[in-house]
Structure 1
Amino acid sequence: MTLASPPFDPELRTLLADVPLVPELNHEVLAQIRPFSSAPVEPLLEGRTIDRRDVGIAGPDGTRIPLSVFSPAGPNRSTAAPCVYWMHGGGMVMGDRFSQIDIPLEWLDLFGAVVVSVDYRLAPEATGTSLVEDCYRGLLWVAEHTDELGVDPDRIVVAGASAGGGLTAGVALLARDRGGPSIAAQVLICPMLDHRNDTTSSRQYSGAPGVWTREMNEFGWRSVLGDTAGDTVPAYVSPATAGDLSGLPDVYIDAGTAEVFRDEAVAYASRIWAAGGQAELHIWAGGFHGFDALYPHARLSAVARRTRSDWLTRLLTRAAGSARPQVSGQGAGR
């Protein structure tokens, strides 16, 4: 039986009608679309006064993890800048550190943030906790180089979209449980949080071509988890399974009503509130998965982006006036 589902926003539906959608995702299709899953970053930098540098750091097993650092160019500033540590989307199986990078670059423009984006390894070549550990290692590098980067250590924000949103949540859990680094806030954009893939919204967007369907989501999670999908999955990989969501940084979560991740985003925010934490949740009527990344100038996208940026501006202004509390050592799996 096909479930009724919320319709797409009319403007977004018209825009999406001109895009050929992938009917399914498997290893053969993945090999074909991976080269096109990220656009060059250079056009986004044109007209912006930005300094860019690329670095490579050693991962947990010695694997090289590339990072790109984007900083506002110009005279030396007397005040340390906020930092946005970015984790890209792509279902954990595609994309690179320049995917959706226009989102944090807007924050560089708005409030002078230094943006650091991580090229974590992808599934199925990397599995289990490898992806989130790569991301955590990049965050450690940022925290260890705040003076060099001109970054305020009390205003480091972790952020990501889709798979990157799930990895952002996982990194926040790791930082809490390992005693740091300090995180001022987390921004989860249409986040991929739950490997169980069995919410109402997941089932609503199944069985037909789409931007990201239940079947595509199943392929992404199977690629990450391999044969362990039926076993206990670490909360750092699938944050929705965390037993304890207390002691986390303030979080902004958004998604669309017309997408797979709607219900797991709502559930995650609800559990943070239940644990005494602070979450701001926005579910945009008619938004499909990744709508504001695909069509940033659509009316709904502009409102979603502005609302997200306004929240982050308020939070960073508050963080500039007070030191962050110490991170709780409570365990994610409890």
Structure 2
Amino acid sequence: MTTGRRGPSASSAVAARVRPPFDPELGAALAALGDRSKERLTSENLAAHRRRDAASRPLPTLTELRADGRFAVEELSVPGAAGGPDVTLVYARPAAATGPLPVLYYLHGGGMIMGNARSVLPRILRDWSAPLNLAVLSVEYRLAPETRYPGPLEDCHTGLVWTAAHADGLGIDSERVVVGGKSAGGGLAAALTLLNRDRGDGPTPIGQLLLCPMLDDRLRTPSALQMTGAGLWDRSSTAVAWQAYLGDRYGAPDLPPYAAPARATDLSGLPPTYLDVGSAETFRDENIAYAQGIWRDGGHAELHVWPGAFHGFDSVAPTAVLSREARHTRTQWLSRVLDTHAGKDTSGSTAHPLPASYPSLPGQVPGGHPDQLVNGSSPGK
């Protein structure tokens, strides 16, 4: 039995040579990216990838996010935990909304080494905040390797506790908080929900929205091995990100679940969970196992494995049939959770009707996605 931190066992060699096929429409979009989809992240080229990632995600100003008055947006500075710096939260809500609103507490992606709290907001405001009358708090947590675990997670936890304590002033309902994130942000969201459950000092979320979350630092699943060398934020790039985040604790047998949620042995007491992932991506099997763990421990999880989808597929090919179906399914789940906790009977109902399209927000390509990372410069990280 191996306990090593790095490589796969010899018995996994066959799995490493075979991967599920890509959906034809998604595969064509990926092929159009050319070599950009195959460039691997390393510790040596991280700075270059950060520069390219920043260039690919224009940082919208608060004025741009307000979208000609459609949204009220402000940047908040939250006192940090003992010994820690203040935490920045970007707070947004539909400008015309009244009364305490439910809130999505969102953690951006980027491998925990890239990304920012603002660039993810245009699509969230357009797809969820406006049609669902939802407030959003996006967290500017510190990045690795400059700040390793538990610093970024503590930033997220500090912001969550502060949000609940200041709900009245923010005009939000502290009993209708959904914690969410995508890729590394999804992994942080899962870790935050576990930490919040065990510390008991924050609000009780009504749901967690985990989109292709990065959960397992061990990278020994069949899907991690299958996607080795396939680009698309593959096993090698993921290992670099985990090493940056965990430092000397990377792969340690006693790593706590707050550092890598796949290490959790007790997934009881979690809120209803939405998980989705592609069948042709590194995180497939760790996401499936996480849903199974929630079911095993008596919880509720809704799991979607999109056939032929790679990591961040809906960012690379936003108009593809599968991408549109995935976005609609996420919105349906979020709508049901919000309606249920507003005291509505949603049995047999569907999500709020979605218009065919929304006007593009400033700095965004129509139909596109602001959260773009391809391997080191990235879809959906």
- Identify whether the pair has TM-score above 0.5, normalized to the shorter chain: yes
The structural deviation recorded for 1:178 is: 1.2
Matched residue of 1:243: which SS? coil
1:125-169 deviations in whole A, cap 9, x for unaligned?
Answer: 111211111111111121112112211111110000000000000
Counterpart of 1:87 in structure 2 is: 107
Alignment-derived partner of residue 76 in structure 2: 55
* Displacement of 1:101: 2.8
Q: How does 1:17-28 map to 2 (within 5 A)?
A: 17-19=31-33, 20-28=36-44
Can you list the C-alpha shifts for 1:202-244, whole angstroms capped at 9, x where unaligned? Answer: 0001024x12000001101111111112432121110111121
Q: 2:196 aligns with which of 136, 156, 175?
A: 175
- How far does the alpha carbon of each residue in 1:59-103 deviate from its partner, in whole angstroms, 9 at most, with x for none? 2223122111111112x61x3211001101111111111243344
Unaligned runs of 5+ in 1: 323-334
Please say if residues 41 and 49 of structure 2, whose CA atoms lie closer than 8 Å, have aligned partners that are also in contact.
Answer: no
Could you say which residue in structure 2 is the equivalent of 1:207? 229
Secondary structure at the counterpart of residue 141 of structure 1: helix
Structure 2 counterpart of 1:264: 286
2:168 to 140, 147, 153: 147
Q: Percent identity?
A: 45
Quote the residue 2:271 is aligned against: 249
Q: What per-residue deviation string (whole Å, max 9, x for no partner) do you get for residues 275-321 of structure 1? A: 00000000001111011233322211110010011011011101111
Residue in structure 2 matched with residue 325 of structure 1 by the alignment: none
Cα shift readout 1:244-279 (whole Å, capped 9, x = no counterpart): 100011100000001000000000000000000000
Over 3 Å counting, the alpha-carbon distance change for 1:229 and 1:28 in structure 2 is closer
Output the amino acid matched with 1:211.
Answer: L
- Look up the SS of the partner of 1:55 in the other structure: strand
Q: Indicate conservation of the 8 Å contact 1:50/1:71, yes or no.
A: yes
Deviations 1:22-71 (A, max 9, x none): 52212332101213323323566546701110112232223122111111
Whether the aligned pair in 2 keeps the contact of 1:187 and 1:252 (CA below 8 Å) is: yes
Instruction: Give, in whole Å, the separation in 2 of the partners of 1:299 and 1:112.
Output: 26
Residue in structure 1 matching 2:117, options 88, 97, 113: 97
- TM-score, length basis structure 1: 0.91
* Residue 327 of structure 1: aligned partner: none
SS at match of 1:320: coil
Structure 2 counterparts to residues 177-326 of structure 1, below 5 A: 177-179=198-200, 180-208=202-230, 210-231=231-252, 232-321=254-343
Aligned to 1:69: 91
Structure 2 vs 1, CA of residues 100 and 291 (structure 1 numbering), >3 Å: closer, same or farther?
farther
Tell which has more relative contact order, 1 or 2 (C-alpha 8 A, sep 6+): 2
Work out whether residues 157 and 192 of structure 2, in 8 Å CA contact, stay in contact via their aligned partners in 1: yes
- Is the contact made by 1:57 and 1:138 (CA closer than 8 Å) also made in structure 2? yes
Relative to structure 1, the CA distance from residue 145 to residue 296 in structure 2 (aligned partners, 3 Å threshold; closer, same or farther) is farther
Of 13, 22, 39, 2:27 maps to: 13
Aligned residue for 2:37, secondary structure, equals coil
1:39 equivalent among 44, 48, 58: 58
The Cα of 1:119 is off from its aligned counterpart by 0.8
Q: Which moved more, 1:30-39 or 1:113-122?
A: 30-39
Between Structure 1 and Structure 2, how many residues are aligned? 319
Q: 2:139 aligns with which of 118, 132, 138?
A: 118
Partners of 1:252 and 1:228 in 2: how far apart?
29
The CA RMSD over aligned residues, in Å, is 1.7
Distance verdict in 2 for CA 1:213–1:158, change over 3 Å: same
